[in-house]
């Protein structure tokens, strides 16, 4: 919780294990590597006071304080975070409507995830998150229209090569959840939306 409030050295130390799944500790003449494949789940407020964008209009943060707060998370760290979801306060009536809405229940969602994992393991022997760059290129299976959308969005959003690969992994996973052999444009669009939601 409150990721920007952690010491900068702690936040930046997450970069390498998020990328490689390994922590390397080097001391005088000795280097040890420890496995560190983990899933990072972090939260932050939209601004120092926490009310940016709230319909109540309670936010009084200045543009300068907002920029300073959001800049605490470096571009290289954000590049390594695949999914970013922005949440806003929900009114009681909306909670009730959401509870009544139909959608997959937990058992159905779990079955869909297990099926997607099975597809990934059968296709490449590893989960999409563990694909090397070469494996990702080999197993991506992106349609031409999806590729065009990704290239256009990458240029517009100024995505780094790392960020683009992460969008590809998420799009491949979304296609697997749909049991789709090819990544369609809507899979890319959803992956991009999940990336820019912060």
Helix (H, G, I), strand (E, B) or coil at 41: coil
Q: In this predicted model, what pLDDT tens digit does every residue of 146-157 receive, in sequence order?
A: 999 999 999 999
Mean pLDDT of the chain: 91
Residues shown for the chain: 198
Strands 30-35, 22-27: pairing kind: antiparallel
User: What is residue 120's predicted lDDT score, i.e. its pLDDT?
Assistant: 97
142 falls in which pLDDT band (50, 70, 90)?
Answer: very high
Which pair of tokens denotes residue 91? Answer: 């009114």
User: What is residue 87's predicted lDDT score, i.e. its pLDDT?
Assistant: 83
140 within 8 A of 168, measured Cβ to Cβ:
yes
Mean pLDDT, rounded, for 15-24: 90
Judged by phi (left if over 0) then psi (alpha if -120 to 50, else beta), residue 99 lies in: alpha
Residue 19 has pLDDT above 60, yes or no: yes
Residue 197 has pLDDT above 60, yes or no: no
Q: How far apart are CA 157 and CA 168, in angstroms?
A: 15
81 within 8 A of 73, measured Cβ to Cβ:
no
175 falls in which pLDDT band (50, 70, 90)?
Answer: very high
Q: In this predicted model, what pLDDT tens digit does every residue of 92-130 receive, in sequence order?
A: 777 777 766 777 788 999 999 999 999 999 999 999 999
């Amino acid at each position: 919780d409150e990721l920007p409030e952690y010491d900068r050295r702690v936040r930046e130390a997450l970069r390498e294990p998020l990328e490689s799944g390994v922590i390397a500790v080097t001391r005088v003449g000795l280097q040890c590597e420890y496995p560190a494949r983990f899933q990072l789940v972090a939260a932050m407020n939209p601004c120092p006071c926490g009310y940016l964008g709230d319909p109540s209009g309670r936010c009084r943060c200045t543009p300068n304080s907002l920029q300073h707060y959001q800049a605490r998370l470096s571009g290289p760290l954000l590049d390594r975070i695949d999914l970013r979801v922005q949440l806003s306060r929900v009114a009681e009536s909306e909670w009730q409507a959401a509870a009544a809405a139909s959608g997959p229940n937990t058992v159905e969602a779990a079955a869909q995830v297990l099926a997607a994992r099975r597809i990934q393991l059968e296709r490449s022997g590893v989960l999409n998150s563990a694909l090397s760059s070469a494996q990702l290129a080999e197993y991506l299976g992106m349609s031409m229209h999806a590729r065009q959308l990704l290239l256009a969005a990458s240029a517009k959003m100024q995505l780094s090569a790392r960020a683009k690969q992460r969008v590809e992994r998420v799009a491949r996973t979304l296609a697997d959840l749909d049991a789709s052999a090819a990544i369609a444009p809507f899979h890319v669009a959803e992956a991009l939306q999940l990336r820019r939601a912060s």
